[in-house]
Amino acid sequence: MLANRLLDFPAYASDGDTECADELATAAVAASPRSSLAHFAKGQVLRVQKRYDEAIAEFETVLSLNRNWVGAIFALGWCKFHTGLIDETIPLLQQLLRLSPRDPYIGIWYGRIGIAHLLQWRLDEAIVWLEKARTAMPSRPWTRASLAVAYAHNGETARAADEIAEAHRLSPDGRYSSIARLKKVGYLGVPKVRTLFETIYLTGYRKAGVPEE
C-alpha cells in the first residue's frame, strides 16, 4: 500500500506519491464507504500528511467496522498521542498487547507506552515499559534514547549516559551527537506535545551528557 510505504520509507517517496495516495484512498472510501480497508488507507494517508485529527476519525470508523484490527488500533493511539491526548494512547496500546501478545512489533508498543508515561512524568512506569521495549528490540535507537531520558530524570546519570551512547551508535544520522542536531529532527505533534518533548526530552538529554553543539 502506497500510504504505508510513505510512512515506513518517507526518504524514498517521490513528490507525487502523497497526492496519488490521497486520491486513491479518497476514491476508495467514496466507492466503498463501508470498507474498513478503504478507511484504513485514508487514515494512513492523513497520518502521512500529519492531519492527525482527521486521521483519528478514519481509524475510529475502521474500528467500528472491525474492532480488533491491530494496525488501526496502533495508528489511532499514535494519532491521539500527536494531538496531545497522551493518556488515551496507553489503553489503546495495552489493548494491542491483549490482542496480540506475541506480535513482532511488541517492542514498539512497549516503547510507546513508556514514552506516554514519560511525558506525564511517571518515571517509574516509563522505565519499566522502556526496559521491556529495550529487551524486545535492543537495536532501536529511539527506545534507548527515551530510556536515557527516563534514567537521567530519575537520577541514574551513569545508566543514562550508557543508553544515550548506545542510541548514538545505533542511529545512522548522528542525531544524538548534540542538542542542536536533535532539534532539527522530526515532527513532535501539536504545540502541547512539542513543549513536553522540549521540557522532558531535551533536559533529559542534557543530563545524560549530550552537548549543545
H-state helical runs in 52-156:
52-65, 70-82, 86-99, 106-118, 123-136, 141-153
Over residues 154-174, the mean pLDDT reads 97
Which of these, 63, 66, 151, lies nearest to 77 by C-alpha position? 63
Q: Is the pLDDT of residue 28 over 60?
A: yes
Tell me: the pLDDT tens digits for 168-178?
Answer: 999 999 999 99
Q: Read off the pLDDT of residues 15-24 as tens digits, 9 standing for 90 and up.
A: 677 888 889 9
Q: What is the mean pLDDT of residues 202-206?
A: 95
CATH topology of domain 1-83: 1.25.40
Q: Where does CATH 1.25.40.10 sit in the chain?
A: 1-83, 104-213
User: Does pTM surpass 0.85?
Assistant: yes
Cell of residue 17, nine digits: 506519491
At 101, phi and psi to the nearest 5?
Answer: -70, -10
The CA distance from 170 to 167, in Å, is 5
Question: Among the listed ranges 22-26, 70-74, 96-100, 118-122, which one has the minimum average pLDDT value?
Answer: 22-26
Percent of the chain with pLDDT over 70: 91
Range in 11-20, 95-104, 129-138, 157-166 with the lowest mean pLDDT: 11-20
Question: What's the one-letter identity of residue 145?
Answer: A
141 near 151, Cβ under 8 Å? no
Does pLDDT of 10 surpass 50?
Answer: no
In this prediction, residue 193 carries a pLDDT of: 85
Question: Is 4's pLDDT higher than 50?
Answer: no
Instruction: Report CA Rg, the chain.
Output: 18
Are the CB atoms for 181 and 212 separated by under 8 Å? no
CATH superfamily assigned to domain 104-213: Tetratricopeptide repeat domain (1.25.40.10)
Q: Which amino acid is at 183?
A: K
Q: What is the pLDDT of residue 15?
A: 60
42 and 29 Cβ atoms separated by less than 8 Å? yes
Model confidence at 77, in pLDDT bands (50, 70, 90)? very high
pLDDT given at position 194: 85
**Predicted confidence band at 11 (pLDDT cuts at 50, 70, 90)?**
very low
The pLDDT value recorded for residue 54 is: 97
Average pLDDT, the chain: 91
Question: Residue with C-alpha cell 491521539?
Answer: 80
As to burial, measured by CB atoms within 10 angstroms (0-12 exposed, 13-18 middle, 19+ buried), residue 41 is buried
**168 vs 176: CA distance, rounded Å:** 5
